[in-house]
Structure 1
Amino acid sequence: MLTTKQLLDIETLQKECEAYDHLQLKLNWEMFRNRVTDQLDFLHYENDELVAFLGLYAFGSTVEVCGMVKPSERRKKHFSRLFQLGMATAKEMNFKKILLNAPASSTEAQAFLTKHGAIYGFSEHQMKWEEKTLEEVNGFTLRQANTDDLDMRVRLSVEAFGLSNEDALAMESRIDGDEDTDMFMIDGNKETVGKIRVKRENGEAWIYGFSILPTHQGKGIGRKVLAKVVKEQSESGHSVHLEVETKNAHALRLYESIGFQVVHAQDYYTY
């Protein structure tokens, strides 16, 4: 697992890179802090200063990869060496899919990934809610998920997001036990029809895994649930954020109708 110093060094490097390049990196801090192994993180130090980093984030049979290099230390092959180590590790661990993540506005990252044979797959919008009057809604119930809901959570991830059962089970099992996260099940007409997860950190509330069973979509449930969650988190003093794939036009329109606006975009490449 990463040491306290390593975590601080990664955070310092991230802030420097984001300020220099005017972008936002997608490092999965929730997973960083809960690592049970140091085999998925690659750090390069010069004179006791972290100058390059590469992290692997496992989601079942898929692994996502993101990294960065100190601006003054670029073009010195630091990242290339970490990338080779990371890709070798991903292959040794037999992941079925390797996704490389880079800010959409980073031409340097795009050139690096293309040079190494990565193929563009899709983009993901990071959205922020801009204050807007939201009416009180009803017709459903939000309740904290319990152990009996695991099968339904897996089913929702499979049917709504197209994940395999293996990946859905791995993901749902991993996110349990986080004290800053609420996993809500959505009940309507005495049956469970969806789920939504809210992660709070540093004054921000992030919405993840929001899904409604396909048989219950198009009935306005999703919009009502989202409005309720956004209203509650905003009133408790949090700014509200979420992520959505660009190709999911229906979800994008739903979020925009509630008051969300795109602030960043991340590109994903398959390797």
Structure 2
Amino acid sequence: MKGLDIHLSASPARPDGFPEEISLSADKLGDSIVKIGQVVGFDDPILSQEYGNKGYWEPLSFIREVGIRLLFKEKYDADKIPVLFVHGALGTPLGWMDIVDRLDPVRFQPWFYYYPSGLSLSKTSAALNWMVNHLHRHYGFRELYVVAHSMGGLVARSFILKNGHENRQDIVKLFVSISTPWNGHKLTAKGVRQASVAVPSWYDMVPDSPFITSLFARRLPESVAYDLFFSYRGDCSLLLENNDGTVELSSELDDRAQSEALRIYGYNEDHGTILTSEAVIAQINLLLQQKRILTPQLATPSP
């Protein structure tokens, strides 16, 4: 399978529902900015940290060179539940390598949302929703599990709210957030005030920003089981209160997020090492297996 590319003509028409801010002209972005369902390996050069950095600091250059992608690790299999992984700021799908290597290959298939993390989070979450709906119309899968790290948790929650409440879908059955700054990051407020040119996603990451507020204006759909993971091994800092080296615990453990979590798991890891922790990986796999057993119907209905 080569994937489901969305091509833009010289005077491109925006795909129905795709965010206007992302669908720029073809002369700026090339002939295909939305790439869905392409199978890639972790050795693919487009997954390098160089592109993760570019996606944050130069998001339009990232779109021009990489596009916005929902990638597969393997060809779609209707007998496996898709697990969608959403990276955070400066991230790429490589950050999920340890977790994916331990994923049950018989029951689950990993998908990766690969996006420029410097873009507006409301736009990147809308793009993800559009892409998932496109895949759902194509394959008809009944379940989708979502695992997100750091800022990716904000993108994922926004997507889940759009998908469940606005599109009235009930395909997302499990949501696991890992070290997510649920009330943003206060240093982004300083960046927005002082930087000559602020990264667009900083505006959404300001504590109590309109975007953050919108995430908790509605509860997660009833179909979604939500588990919150947080890390707490940080350093003494003059700029941050108790933290995991990157995010303050008060943001990771925002009361609004805790109130919707079925379970909360804390780990003596920092913001990055939590993704390689044996205990964390084992617990995520346990949650995936438990959810699969509780909802045994798999992807595509029998003809």
Could you tell me the TM-score, scaled by structure 2's length?
A: 0.27
More strand by share: 1
Larger Rg: 1
Q: State the TM-score, normalized to the length of structure 1.
A: 0.29
